[in-house]
């Protein structure tokens, strides 16, 4: 039923750019806080960026602020992550996630956690070489 498919991953040199996309189906996309998560070998999965239902507000982990931009197009059921000035430390598997449907007030950065995620995409590999 629920399907989320990422695309846009690949290999890039330090300083380069990539844009990831995630198209979802089988769920009320517009109702969900959505997010991008990543996991590097030997490290815990972390929330990179999460977006409110409208996409007007976004949260970012400190290490990507100013370099990554998350957005969503609810009419297309699609989530995006524009990644610029990529560093070797950004190398990881990147996952699209439907985090949760808000039922009350919440703090965006606080819910951008793997433990909160309802549905996961299959992941797309991003490799940054130096």
With a pLDDT cut of 70, the percent of the chain lying above it is: 100
Q: Is 12 exposed, middle or buried (0-12, 13-18, 19+ CB in 10 A)?
A: middle
| pLDDT tens digit sequence for 7-63 | 999 999 999 999 999 999 999 999 999 999 999 999 999 999 999 999 999 999 999
What are the structure tokens assigned to 106, written together? 């919440």
Confidence of residue 127 (pLDDT cuts 50, 70, 90): very high
Please provide the average confidence, as pLDDT, over all residues in the chain. Answer: 98
With a pLDDT cut of 90, the percent of the chain lying above it is: 98
Phi-psi region of 115 (alpha: psi -120 to 50; beta: other; left: phi over 0): alpha
The span from the first CA to the last CA of the chain, in angstroms, equals 40
Query: How confident is the model at residue 25, as a pLDDT?
Result: 98
DSSP 67: T
Q: Are strands 10-13 and 124-129 parallel, antiparallel or unpaired?
A: parallel
Kind and range of the H or E run holding 64: none
**Coil, helix or strand at residue 63:** helix
**Coil, helix or strand at residue 50:** strand
Query: How confident is the model at residue 23, as a pLDDT?
Result: 98
Helices (H), 33-122: 108-111
């Amino acid at each position: 039923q629920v399907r989320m498919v990422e695309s846009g991953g690949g290999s890039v040199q330090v300083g380069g750019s990539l844009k990831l996309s995630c198209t979802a189906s089988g769920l009320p996309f517009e109702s969900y806080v959505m997010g991008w998560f990543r996991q590097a070998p030997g490290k815990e999965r972390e929330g990179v960026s999460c977006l409110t239902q409208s996409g007007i507000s976004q949260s970012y982990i400190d290490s990507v602020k100013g370099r990554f931009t998350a957005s969503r197009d609810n009419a297309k059921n699609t989530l995006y992550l524009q990644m610029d000035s990529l560093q070797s430390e950004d190398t990881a598997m990147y996952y699209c996630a439907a985090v949760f449907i808000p039922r009350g007030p919440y703090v965006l950065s606080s819910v951008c956690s793997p433990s909160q995620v309802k549905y996961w995409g299959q992941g797309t590999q991003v490799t940054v070489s130096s």
